[in-house]
Chains A and B, each alone.
Chain A
Amino acid sequence: MTCSTEVIEYMHQYLDEEILEQDKVKLKKHLDECEDCAIHFHELKKTIALVQSTSHIQAPANFTENVLGLLPKEKKQAVFKR
């Protein structure tokens, strides 16, 4: 069964926290009745959780010193070069 794009649109509005209260009720009711859509919605939420689970990484050591070392000595000269 292929459900209306309206339901998919509600899912995305829900994920963006922009769904209207009455549409949220419609979405919940539909998800209770339609397994395909319930799976779709679950997969979307899982996807977000997976992306958010990618651990936060840090800039390499000495990053600040390296960039400061690359700065033009006289700012005005650098502007003239451009």
Chain B
Amino acid sequence: MEALIKKRIKQVIKGDQNAFGDIIDIYKDKVFQICYRMLGNRHEAEDISQEAFLRAYVNINRFNMDLKFSTWLYRIATNLCIDRIRKKKPDYYLDAEVPGTDGLNMYSQISSDTRLPEEDVESLELQALIQREISKLPEKYRSVIVLKYIEELSLNEISEILELPLGTVKTRIHRGREALRKQLRHV
């Protein structure tokens, strides 16, 4: 996998934009998911994911081939998300899409006389609730929780992506888990 990516990167550096299309295809779902779980909003997640790939493209010469490409790409995406969260106005959520309701799009395409099975509705509500609670976490805990439990990355990788010492990552994961525990204990 890494060998294929590095081959594509060399092609991109030579000016082959289609090779970059292959890179986007491989990583778009992962990057979009990080952004969606960090921002809790589909529209913003798309915006920031696009920006992350654009920045990766423009700065591809600066990519150190000794690193894993995903580490570098996730670092760009996470930093963009953190910047966006910091710039957000406090009243932002008033007009934001309710997070976690994406699944509804799928059901809205089913003819209207099809009733939703009870457990699917419950599951969608639960998903929305969990996303809301993730969105309430301070950004420094949110990023580690998303990378650890949604992207399923190792503590070492998270430390590289966020450019934080391993000890700091562990502390933030512990605090993030405790904060979420308090928020989700009665679910």
B contact residues, range:
35 or more
Cross-chain contact A67 with B53 (CB below 8 angstroms): yes
Given contacts A16-B170, A52-B149, contact A47 B177 (CB under 8 A): yes
Q: Which of B24, B42, B103 is the one whose CB lies under 8 Å from A68? A: B24
Cross-chain contact A50 with B187 (CB below 8 angstroms): yes
Stretch among B14-22, B64-72, B111-119 lining the A interface: B14-22
What's the least CB distance linking B32 to chain A, in Å?
4
Contacts A44-B178, A60-B46 aside, 14 further interface pairs with beta carbons under 8 A come to A16-B173, A47-B180, A47-B181, A47-B185, A52-B149, A58-B32, A59-B29, A59-B32, A64-B21, A64-B25, A67-B50, A72-B58, A78-B58, A82-B58
By a beta-carbon cutoff of 8 Å, the part of chain B in contact with chain A is 15, 17, 20-21, 24-25, 28-29, 31-33, 36-37, 42, 46, 49-50, 53-54, 57-58, 61, 100, 102-103, 126-127, 130-131, 134, 145, 149-150, 155, 170, 173-174, 177-178, 180-181, 184-185, 187
